Amino acid sequence: MAAYPIRPYDGVMQAAAKLIANGKMDVEYIVADGEHSQFEIVKHACAVGSRVFVGSSGVGWFYAFEAIAVTAGLRLPVVAICGNRALDDPGAFGTEHNDSLAVRDLGWLLPWAETAQEAMDLALMAWRVGEDKRVSLPVAIGLDGAFLTHSQQIVKIPTQAAVNTFLPPFDLGDRLLHPDNPITIAPQVDQDWLMEIRMQNDQAMRKAEGVIREAHADFKKLFGRGGDSPFLDEYMTDDAEVVFFGQGTLALPMKVAIRRLRKEGHKVGLVRLKWFRPFATDEIVKCLSRFKAVGVIDRDYSFGSPYYGGVLYNEVRSALYSQPKRPVVVGFIAGLGGREIEQPMAQEIFEKTKAAASGDLKAGDTCHWIGVRS
């Protein structure tokens, strides 16, 4: 385990330090001299066969970027948390998903947690899925800064015996770096072999979806949690015409809004995405095609992107493109830098999405910034 301070992820490392100091956890705990070293240390510890944990936030995550990129290339199942934080400058501690999302193309698996319990559960899932030989990829769990990293919630901690049943020992097999297995890792392959190796990463990512489903089924059986699907968490969607779509803690204010809107007679629900990578395209498409309109709420930005939308918005639109029956998709950028998504904002998101559903708003090619002072 390698630690380096940056808010807001580091609360987790502080808690870990306390466990170690009190003899409740037996790990090598290295306080690094920067995030680059932090991620390099765990990468190399992983290569000799040890299970590792690391994390960062915001610009710290970016300071480690080189190590983050090669970890995926090396197919080393490092498990990290990213306490999602706005990218300075200007300084801001609160949630934005651009730090995690910056690694979306590199081969990291990216789940997002809504609650502390889910963060705990996803950590077990992360080691199980990442270390599975069919996958062998790193995992970065997204935790909304402050909203999740700094809220106190009651968490059920599973027994060691149950965890041992769920999580087999880490075994790198013939990829272990050891004098008994004198391999050369990551030589220069150049144009001669790089495409073949990239395609192997692609195949691993394709397999990850099925492995996540397997692990999820086992997890549910053992711990009785996790919902119907590992990828989507649906809330009041059975008869819904309009749904919100997003990830992380924004589910909380949106659920409050949905209960209020339901009382007023609106058929509205929420679909929360639990894994951004791999993007469970078929399941997501099938789910969203049931609705008239989808309001995608991005806690991120992608300046200059198609229709100036957020990352999630463009992913969803792209996934739906070839479908004969598809909902109207409206994009919203909200809650950046940790700004609360308050009920008037949720109301505005609902009204715009509903207007799009009834054809009153030319919605498909626009993206709306919500709750911004003029």
Partner 1 sequence: MAIETALPQIKGVKDVPYEELFVSGHRTCQGCESALVMRHMVKASGPRTIVLGSTGCMYVANTTYYTTPWVVPWMHTQLGASGSAALGTAAGLKVLMRKGKLKDEKINVIAFCGDGGGADMGLGAISATLTHKEYNCLVLLYDNESYANTDIQLSSQTPYGAVTTFSPSGSKKRLMHTRWKKNVPGMLAAGHPESRFIAAGCAAYAVDLMNKIRKALEIGGPTFVHTLDPCPKGWDYHPQYSQELGHLAVECGIWPLYEVIDGVCNLTGPTRQIAEGRKKRKPVYEYLKRQGRFAHFIDEDVEHFQAQVDKMWTDWLIPGVIPFTVPAKDQAILKIDKKSKPLHEEPATA
118, HSE (Cβ side, Cα atoms, 13 Å): 25
Interaction between residue 193 and partner 1 (CB under 8 A): yes
**Residue 21 engages partner 1 in binding (rule: CB under 8 A):** no
- The size of the interface with partner 1 (CB under 8 A), counted in residues, is 42
User: Is residue 226 within 8 Å of 274, Cβ to Cβ?
Assistant: no
Could you say whether residue 191 binds partner 1 (CB under 8 A)? no
If one asks whether residue 28 binds partner 1 (CB under 8 A), the answer comes out as yes
Among positions 12, 32, 109, 124, the unique one binding partner 1 when judged by CB under 8 A: 32
> CA dist 374 to 75, 94, 303, 304, 307, Å?
47, 21, 19, 21, 21
Q: Which of 90, 91, 173, 182 binds partner 1 (CB under 8 A)?
A: 182
Closest approach, Cβ 48 to partner 1, in A, equals 4
Give the binding range for partner 1 (CB under 8 A) out of 30-38, 156-164, 300-308, 321-329: 30-38
What strands lie across the sheet with 367-369, from one edge to the other?
Answer: 232-235, 268-273, 242-246, 293-298, 328-333, 367-369
The Cα–Cα gap between 104 and 88 comes to 20
- Complex with partner 1: residue 66 or 88, whichever CB lies closer: 66
66 binds partner 1 (CB under 8 A): yes
At closest approach, how far in Å is the CB of 186 from partner 1?
4
Residue 225, CA distances (Å) to 153, 156, 217, 229 in order: 16, 10, 10, 11
* 78 in contact with partner 1 (CB under 8 A): no
**From the CB of 4, what's the least distance to partner 1, in Å?**
10
- Residue 77 contacts by C-beta under 8 Å, 6 or more apart in sequence? 46, 127, 130, 131, 135, 136, 137, 138, 139, 170
- Residue 273 as a binder of partner 1 (CB under 8 A): the answer is no
We find the least distance from the C-beta atom of residue 102 to partner 1, in angstroms, to be 18
Select from 64-72, 217-225, 229-237, 301-309 the region that touches partner 1 (CB under 8 A): 64-72
Residue 30 touches partner 1, criterion: CB under 8 A = yes
Query: What is the 3 state secondary structure string of 37-68?
Result: HHHHHHHHHHHCCCCCEEEECHHHHHHCHHHH
201 near partner 1, rule: CB under 8 A: no
User: Residues 6 or more apart from 310 whose CB is under 8 A from it?
Assistant: 296, 298, 299, 300, 301, 302, 331, 332, 333, 367
Q: Is 131 in the site for partner 1 (CB under 8 A)?
A: no
Distances (CA, A) of 150 to 94, 205, 274, 338: 11, 32, 20, 12
Nearer to partner 1, 102 or 256 (CB): 102
- Does 187 bind partner 1 (CB under 8 A)? Our answer is yes
Kindly identify the residues of this chain, within the stretch 35-54, that bind partner 1 according to CB under 8 A.
Answer: 36-38, 40-50, 52
Distance CA 361, CA 322 (A): 22
User: Which of 91, 183, 238, 264 lies at the binding interface for partner 1 (CB under 8 A)?
Assistant: 183
Q: Which of 190, 238, 239, 264 binds partner 1 (CB under 8 A)?
A: 190
Beta bridge partners, 111, equal 275
Distances (CA, A) of 265 to 240, 343, 357, 359: 11, 17, 16, 20
> Which region among 125-133, 187-195, 263-271, 304-312 touches partner 1 (by CB under 8 A)?
187-195
Query: In the beta sheet, which residues pair with residue 83?
Result: 143
Decide: is 199 part of the binding site for partner 1 (CB under 8 A). Answer: no
Q: Could you tell me the smallest distance in angstroms from the CB atom of residue 286 to partner 1?
A: 42
Least Å distance, CB 32 to partner 1, is 7
User: How far is the C-alpha of 89 from the C-alpha of 296, rounded, in Å?
Assistant: 26
Min dist. Cβ of residue 63 to partner 1 (A) = 11
Considering only residues 132 through 171, tell me which ones interact with partner 1, judged by CB under 8 A: 169
CA torsion sign for 54, 58, 59, 64 is: positive
Give the residues lining the site for partner 1 (CB under 8 A): 2, 26-28, 30, 32-34, 36-38, 40-50, 52, 66-67, 70, 169, 177-179, 181-190, 192-193
